[in-house]
Chains A and B, each alone.
Chain A
Amino acid sequence: MKKVFIALAILFTILSVIFTVLPLGTLAIIPIIPALLFAFLGFRNAEGKPKQVSRVIMMIAGVLLLVVIGREIFVKDEIEVDKQFEQKKAASEKETAKELEELEGLE
């Protein structure tokens, strides 16, 4: 049983790392919680090397949880200044004014 717990803990930890790296915000907590839970169950029932593995998994999952919470509290959602997009908007307005002028001339 302890092997199953550790295997599940490893699986959820891998998912947690992926979810934390991706910009999914608090969604990363979803795999972190089972990773912590299974690592704890594995830690409680195991001895020797498996116990060490469970401890490491718990530490990784704990750090990931702190990263997710910290990012949510301290990192603000911002947009990058996209010069190309700004130029496109300005060009569109200029072009439309010209087109409207031409259309008025036709009517």
Chain B
Amino acid sequence: MKTLLFTIVAALTIHAGFSQVKPGETFVYAASYNMAGLMTQLAQVKMQTNTVATSKSSYLHLSCEAVTFSKWDSFFKIRDLYESYVNPLTLKPAMYKRDIFEGGYTKKEKYIFKNDGRTVNSTVQKKKKPETKKTFTIGSATQDVVSMLYKLRTVDFSRQKIGQATAFTIVFDEKEIPVVVKYMGTETVSAGNLGSKQCYKVSIAARTDALKGKDKNLIWLTADKAKVPALIKFSIPVGTGQLALKSATGI
């Protein structure tokens, strides 16, 4: 009985985790910002996955990078890199790294998720400030922001009712933040090289000053096995913007 139960749980875990997120995926987005009612393209955002192996185990490396289009580089250069090294089956993070350069402002962050699943050793270095180290506890299901984005793709929205919520907890800026993902139905949106796709529309609400408005932070995930984020709309205190998928490969 135990073996059967284990097999079912393992099968569900594999189905819920690995099947949607594979190494070798590359999603390229055009990030636009709303200026005076007109969407202006600012940067390219690339989400990539690859395998990183050590002598004992193998990790799925999830990376998100934002690079301003060359025309913007002289005015406000952005070179942001967010990375997460996760268990390929459960998407549980082992290490999270953030290295940002935004118009001269720099910040480096590293979180090491200890094996007990509840302790994080963080190292933070801001521009012209000394490096700070901290150890803090988190909930056993807490993810970093990158792995949470990928974990979202493992949610089975086809079984959800409109308005149904799924709870996540993320750790960002050394703080735990509850995140609620609400399923809002299906819509057809343009998904770059994938063409027009029927998508699951989900709303993201987080108890943070970084996001603003109710149901104004939205993600459209293709309503298929890959659940590729086709369109992301966000509302932040200084305006609104979007990330539109240009190409998706390796899915």
Contacts and interface: CB of A to CB of B under 8 A. Distances in A.
Interface of A: 22-27, 30, 77-80, 82, 85, 88-89, 92-93, 96-97, 99-101, 103-104, 107
Interface residues of B, number: 36
A96 B85 contact: yes
27 contacts: A22-B75, A23-B71, A25-B38, A25-B40, A25-B41, A26-B38, A26-B40, A27-B40, A30-B36, A78-B69, A78-B70, A79-B69, A79-B70, A82-B79, A85-B79, A92-B83, A92-B97, A93-B52, A93-B83, A96-B52, A97-B52, A97-B54, A99-B112, A101-B55, A103-B94, A103-B112, A104-B55
Interface of B: 30, 35-36, 38, 40-41, 43-44, 52-57, 59, 61, 63, 65, 67-73, 75, 79, 81, 83, 85, 94-95, 97, 99, 112, 115
Nearest to A24: B40
Contacts of A27: 35-36, 38, 40
A77 to B, nearest CB: 4
A100 B85 contact: yes
Contacts, number: 77
B124 to A, nearest CB: 16
Given A79-B67, A104-B54, A92 B99 contact: yes
Contact of B44 (A79, A92, A99): A79
A29 to B, nearest CB: 8
A30 B35 CA distance: 11
